[in-house]
Amino acid sequence: MSAHSQAVPHDPHFSVVSAPAFTREHIADLAAGRRAAVRVPGLLPATTCAEILRALEASPFEAYGRQRVQPPVMRFGVGVSDHRTDGTLADSYWPAAEAARNAWDQLGLPYDPFTLCREALGVNWPGAVAVGRQDGRELAPGVAREPNYGFQVHFDEALREFRGDLLDSPLVAQFAFNLYLSVPKTGGETVIWRHRWHPADESHRLPQSYGYSETVVGDAESAEITPAIGEALLLDPRNFHAVRPSEGGRRIALGFSMGLSITGDLLTWG
Ligand SMILES: O=C(O)CCC(=O)C(=O)O
Ligand SMILES: [Fe+2]
């Protein structure tokens, strides 16, 4: 028995597993809250990751909304979080998504990186893995993110962030997908706490921010993941999570949100 298990009881339903591929069980376990995260090293071939990274390194990233996202996080592409007003997806999202699509096209890659990710995620899934739609319009497929100064402690849950259903097909669970293309020499760890949002947590919210003071998680059990190039991470984003600041190199990942829809399909969005 380890010192840890003697001192602090461990929740067997809060664990991180590493596997050669995403299985149905992994996705079901995440959806059901029986697992914190699943790592798949080498989800895409190393040569593909290097090619996507080369294209991105030569491209200008933009910052997420600087009021809400401090310290700044850079992105290539668009996410719903910058276009949310009063719990709805603002009209401004659609031209931004169109511009992002063009920017990704102009990288000149012979494939769409997000399509490759969806295909790899779906190898063992009986339903489709497709980009989600709202009023018939396809959302953005994902975004490249560069949180060199880290992400504050936060959670992601469209059911709480949006009024009604974000997508045409209602979701019964949500996941966060990341595929790491570039990692720093030190830092850049992803930390996940066994703590889900509770109304009283709002007293820990950082003013005007997407994030919370780390006091919000108290002494909850946590798991720390040091990302590796080519590795995919699928996590339950209802659990509060953060990214630690990086040193010695850019931390760039492809990322998107994914929902399990009532149809049994997995639907993604940026
Ligand atoms: O970059 C990461 O490892 C996690 C980022 C994050 O907050 C998310 O994917 O929801
Ligand atoms: Fe997140």
**How many angstroms does the Cα of residue 247 sit away from the middle of ligand 2?**
20
The DSSP result for 211-265, as a single string, is: -B-GGGGTT--EEEE---TT-EEEE-TTEEEEE--EESS--EEEEEEEEEETTS-
Which atom of ligand 1 is nearest to 227's Cα? 3
Do the beta carbons of residue 19 and residue 39 sit within 8 Å?
Answer: yes
Say if residue 4's pLDDT is above 70: no
Q: Which residues are registered as beta bridge partners of 130? A: 267
Q: Give the type of residue at 100.
A: A
Give the model confidence (pLDDT) of 9-38 as tens digits: 899 999 999 999 999 999 999 999 999 999
Q: Would you say the CB of residue 236 lies under 6 angstroms from ligand 1?
A: no
Report the distance separating Cα 57 and Cα 52, nearest Å. Answer: 9
Report the distance separating Cα 233 and Cα 22, nearest Å. Answer: 10
Q: Would you say the CB of residue 141 lies under 6 angstroms from ligand 1?
A: no
Give the model confidence (pLDDT) of 34-90 as tens digits: 999 999 999 999 999 999 999 999 999 999 999 899 999 999 999 999 999 999 999
Q: Would you say the CB of residue 255 lies under 6 angstroms from ligand 1?
A: yes
Nearest CA to ligand 1 atom 5: 243
**How many angstroms does the Cα of residue 119 sit away from the middle of ligand 2?**
22
User: In which band, very low, low, confident or very high, does the pLDDT at 8 lie, cut at 50, 70 and 90?
Assistant: confident
Give the model confidence (pLDDT) of 201-234 as tens digits: 999 999 999 999 999 999 999 999 999 999 999 9
Domains, the chain, in order of start with CATH, read 14-269 (2.60.120.620)
Say if residue 7's pLDDT is above 90: no
Q: Residue 264 has which token pair?
A: 């049994």
Which atom of ligand 1 is nearest to 156's Cα? 10
**How many angstroms does the Cα of residue 263 sit away from the middle of ligand 1?**
26
pTM for the whole structure: 0.96
